[in-house]
Amino acid sequence: MSSSQHASRRTAIALNSWRKRVHQALDQGAQTPFFLFSAAPVSAAYETLGLLNPGRPQRCWFSAKTQPLEPLWTWWHRQGGGIEVVSEREFEAARAAGFSTDEILINGPAKHRWLPRHGARGLRVHFDSPFELKSLLPQARREHWKIGLRICTPEERDPEHPSVPTQFGFSPSEVPIAVRALRAAGLEPDSVHFHLRTNVSSAEVYRRAIHSIADLCAAARWTPSVLDVGGGLPPPDTRDLRGHRFDADMDLRAYELALREAVTRMPFLKELWMEHGRFVCAGSGVLVIRILDSKSRAGLRQLICDGGRTLHALVSTWEQHGLHPLQPRRGAQIPTAVFGPTCMAFDCLARQDLPRSLRPGDALLWMDAGAYHLPWETRFSHELAEIWWEDEASRIRPIRRTVGRQP
């Protein structure tokens, strides 16, 4: 079976599973638009990562910003997993979900704005800048934090302006100074962290970043015991707006070899960390919307639905996801644009061929809605969507209902 045939088969199996789940939710009174999420695909993604053999023990941190869903966090905590947070709100939510100090990794910029309000002994903190380090150093020393540094490698470029580095992490020239400042305060930075970007195109990008980190550690006479490679692995079944699969050139075997190369270049490493968000969560949810109206103009059918880009799927601005009728359809397909209900021309969820037989009242499934959909949902002239959850026993229940909405 070719890779494309394998991908098509995997997509068909996933679609069939989600159709069954959605019917169960509808039978229990779910009203569109709604999100339906499940831990099962997250578990499968972590199992895939667990098959990697990088030559050192690895630890996966759940990316809180990717999917801020309490039942999923609670499930992950029961598996013994830790969580990575990048804001005060995420930190507070993680503590409320039961994660202990040792089970939380604090990343992100400008932490000096809020961390002083949350003093705790033994926090795991990756400093992001010289100013942040200087501001938090007294607290870090007093509370015996476990410290790391985030580095801006040459691979990290602003996606809209590729000639410019991102705004995150220490520049290479700042790292030796930061290491000396921490040591002078009696703190040894024990982890080095980089995060490339979302949907990294190939393992070669990780390899180059790892090489730059190894050279930097050598220059700074620094031997951290942990390398945190961040996230960035693209999920299967999502494409750019030209239709190119984000994971077309990402070989997990090559990614594993890049991690093993890190161990070879930095034999002092004792553990490897990763914080993959999209790869882990994208397939864990769907958005269910219903067609409200249908128009035809200039050879294009336009479907107006009760959910769309502006309210629920900002990622459709740069990503194509599978969009399928809830009820399988045969017959001719025609060029179709799918719009949400807001008074915004921007509110176009997808443009693709869809069955000619679709009518107002039919439901559609927007696939791979488990990553960065809830964080970016809006109330633009409308209420938030319902949220439904499938637990480990395959029981489906509502997490958030919309009060007052009539079927």
Please give the full DSSP string across 39-104, using - where no structure is assigned.
SHHHHHHHHHHHT---SS-EEEEEETTT---HHHHHHHHHTT-EEEE-SHHHHHHHHHTT--GGGE
Helix (H) or strand (E) holding 162: strand 161-165
Q: 3-37+282-400: what fold?
A: Lyase, Ornithine Decarboxylase; Chain A, domain 1 (2.40.37)
Residues 6+ apart with CB under 8 A from 247: 233, 234, 235, 236, 238
Beta pairing, strands 191-193 & 226-228: parallel
Q: What does the pLDDT look like over 111-162, one tens digit per residue?
A: 999 999 998 999 999 999 999 999 999 999 999 999 999 999 999 988 888 8
Q: What pLDDT is recorded for position 9?
A: 80
Instruction: Spell out the domain ranges in the chain.
Output: 3-37+282-400, 40-280
Q: What does the pLDDT look like over 49-91, one tens digit per residue?
A: 999 999 999 999 999 999 999 999 999 999 999 999 999 999 9
Separation of alpha carbons 199 and 205, rounded Å:
11
Separation of alpha carbons 311 and 32, rounded Å:
13
Tokens of 299: 């050879």
Residue 16 contacts residue 355 (beta carbons within 8 Å): no
Separation of alpha carbons 194 and 304, rounded Å:
42
Separation of alpha carbons 286 and 301, rounded Å:
23
Residue 370's CB: how many other CB atoms inside 10 A? Answer: 29
Tokens of 38: 């499940």
Which residue, chain included where needed, has tokens 């077309």? 248
Tokens of 200: 């990294």
Backbone dihedral region for residue 394 (phi beyond 0: left; psi -120 to 50: alpha; all else: beta): left
Beta pairing, strands 348-355 & 333-339: antiparallel
Q: What architecture is the 40-280 domain classified under in CATH?
A: Alpha-Beta Barrel (3.20)
Residues 6+ apart with CB under 8 A from 389: 36, 37, 38, 69, 71, 72, 396, 397, 398, 399
* Positive/negative CA dihedral, 172, 82, 232, 375: negative
Q: What pLDDT is recorded for position 93?
A: 98
Helix (H) or strand (E) holding 252: helix 252-265
Residue 190 contacts residue 176 (beta carbons within 8 Å): no
Alpha helix positions (H), 126-202: 130-142, 175-184
Q: Which residues of the chain have pLDDT under 50?
A: 406-407
